């Protein structure tokens, strides 16, 4: 930790009390895993750059491989690490840097290959088949692998074949685009600003206050020419990774659907955010910045505790609150089926709300109604004469006509994902 244990604890507090971190940390999705692995890998990499010891190179290679195994997001570490290795070699002119870096790369590749059982390792690149090979032409009337008849077709594949196939599938999704929604707009493509917007509406207000205070500190130091910048290697690497995360999410804008894809930015963002606490400030401005960061942590903690356990669908006060989340985002940001049992229990314990209609395509409406016998007590699901309506916020986002036909305010919310409306006929 570049700032010491006390300030590191503040950064950990912002991480540990983030509603989205708490929500996705308990799911099978790998966004929290890759965020943690990338942070550990970057700190181990910095440790190796400073020490140039073989054991640190080995640790750095293994943690790098673990990060790459978690999710393709970690691939952005590759050009950053390469740039710092070149800089280190250019500065020190020590041949062992190249040897240790090569050793670390081999360990990283072995770490990636191990979970796949080394399947496809060493297979010539020209023999690998991908889902979009048809886009790259045909040979003798048949679809040819895209890397065939190239100068590198005989080079052995350094990673498992399915690892490359996964990358190919991800690129296919970006190229084709899928249903996207943000700020009241539906489309089949994304926007470069989507993840910045999703952070603006999903991060707790206290965290936004702390980010603002830290930015004010940055602006003040930039304008004050009498102060020199003193930054550590860890801070530079962390800043590069954070910047790369923002850039890659803006560039890969084929679709805008999953807020969770930006979660790997959070640990690096929070480490940068608490940086002003590492400076001794005697001025009123310095004390105000520090107070803003610490108050932001307190507010973040309180907000997270108050919304518990409905972290997945939480929105901040800036966005209008959780009940208005459907006006901003959908899918994993609102309803991912996390309140299935809660909605079923509500229906069973409120027999006075009849006739009742349920519109929920993400959880209760995806062919699993038979798991909830409570719905057998409803009148008729498609009854035209409905008085009560429970609707998923995710469905409201994708159906503007439905949203416009409902009363302005719901009667109550069920969890953080469903809203109850009364329909007057």
Token code pair at residue 388: 């009560």
Q: Quick check: 45 and 60 in contact, CB under 8 A?
A: yes
Reported as a pLDDT band with limits 50, 70 and 90, residue 377 is: low
Token code pair at residue 222: 């930039």
Neighbours of 263 (CB within 10 A): 25
Token code pair at residue 403: 């949203």
**CA–CA separation, 18 and 259 (whole Å):** 14
pTM recorded for the entire structure: 0.88
Q: Quick check: 376 and 370 in contact, CB under 8 A?
A: no
Neighbours of 139 (CB within 10 A): 10
Percent of the chain at pLDDT above 70?
Answer: 86
Task: Map 179-236 to HEC letters.
Answer: CEEECCEEECCCCCCHHHHHHHHHCCHHHHHHHHHHHHHHHHHHHCCCCCCCCCHHHH
Give per-residue pLDDT as tens, 292-348.
999 999 999 999 999 999 999 999 999 999 999 999 998 889 998 888 888 888 888
Query: Cβ neighbours of residue 122 under 8 Å, at least 6 residues apart?
Result: 156, 157
Give per-residue pLDDT as tens, 97-129.
999 999 999 999 999 999 999 998 988 888 887
The DSSP bridge partners found for residue 124 are: 156
Per domain, the residue ranges of the chain are: 5-121+158-284, 335-422
């Amino acid at each position: 930790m570049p700032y010491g244990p006390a300030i590191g604890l503040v950064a950990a507090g912002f991480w540990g009390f983030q509603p989205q971190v708490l929500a996705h940390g308990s799911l099978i999705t790998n966004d929290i895993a890759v965020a943690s692995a990338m942070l550990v890998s970057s700190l181990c990499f910095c440790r190796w750059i400073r020490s140039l010891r073989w054991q640190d190179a080995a640790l750095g290679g293994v943690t790098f491989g673990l990060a790459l195994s978690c999710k393709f997001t970690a691939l952005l570490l590759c050009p950053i690490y390469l740039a710092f290795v070149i800089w280190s070699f250019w500065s020190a002119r020590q041949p062992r840097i190249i040897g240790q870096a090569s050793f670390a790369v081999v360990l990283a590749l072995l770490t990636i290959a191990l979970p796949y059982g080394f399947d496809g390792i060493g297979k010539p690149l020209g023999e690998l088949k991908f889902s979009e090979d048809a886009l790259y032409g045909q040979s003798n009337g048949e679809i040819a692998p895209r890397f065939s008849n190239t100068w590198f077709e005989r080079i052995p594949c350094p990673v498992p074949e399915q690892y490359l196939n996964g990358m190919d599938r991800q690129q296919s999704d970006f190229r084709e685009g899928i249903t996207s929604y943000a700020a009241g707009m539906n489309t089949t493509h994304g926007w470069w600003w989507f993840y910045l917007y999703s952070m603006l509406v999903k991060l707790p207000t206290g965290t936004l206050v702390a980010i603002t205070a830290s930015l004010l500190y940055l602006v003040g130091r930039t304008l004050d020419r009498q102060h020199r910048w003193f930054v550590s290697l860890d801070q530079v690497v962390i800043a590069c990774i954070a910047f790369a995360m923002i850039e890659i999410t803006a560039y890969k804008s084929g679709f805008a659907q999953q807020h969770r894809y930006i979660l790997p930015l959070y640990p690096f963002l929070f480490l940068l955010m608490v940086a002003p606490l590492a400076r001794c400030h005697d001025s009123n401005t310095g004390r105000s910045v520090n107070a803003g960061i610490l108050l932001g942590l307190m507010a973040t903690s309180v907000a997270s505790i108050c919304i518990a356990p409905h972290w997945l669908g939480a929105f901040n006060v800036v966005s209008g609150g959780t009940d208005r989340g459907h006006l901003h985002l959908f899918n994993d940001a609102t309803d991912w089926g996390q309140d299935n049992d809660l909605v079923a229990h509500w229906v069973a314990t409120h027999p006075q709300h009849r006739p009742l209609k349920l519109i929920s395509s993400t959880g209760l409406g995806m062919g699993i109604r038979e798991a909830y016998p409570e719905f057998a007590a409803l009148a008729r699901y498609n009854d035209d004469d409905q008085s009560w309506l429970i609707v998923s916020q995710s469905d409201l986002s994708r159906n503007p006509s439905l949203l416009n036909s409902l009363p302005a305010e719901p009667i109550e919310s069920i969890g953080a994902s469903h809203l109850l409306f009364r329909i007057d006929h």
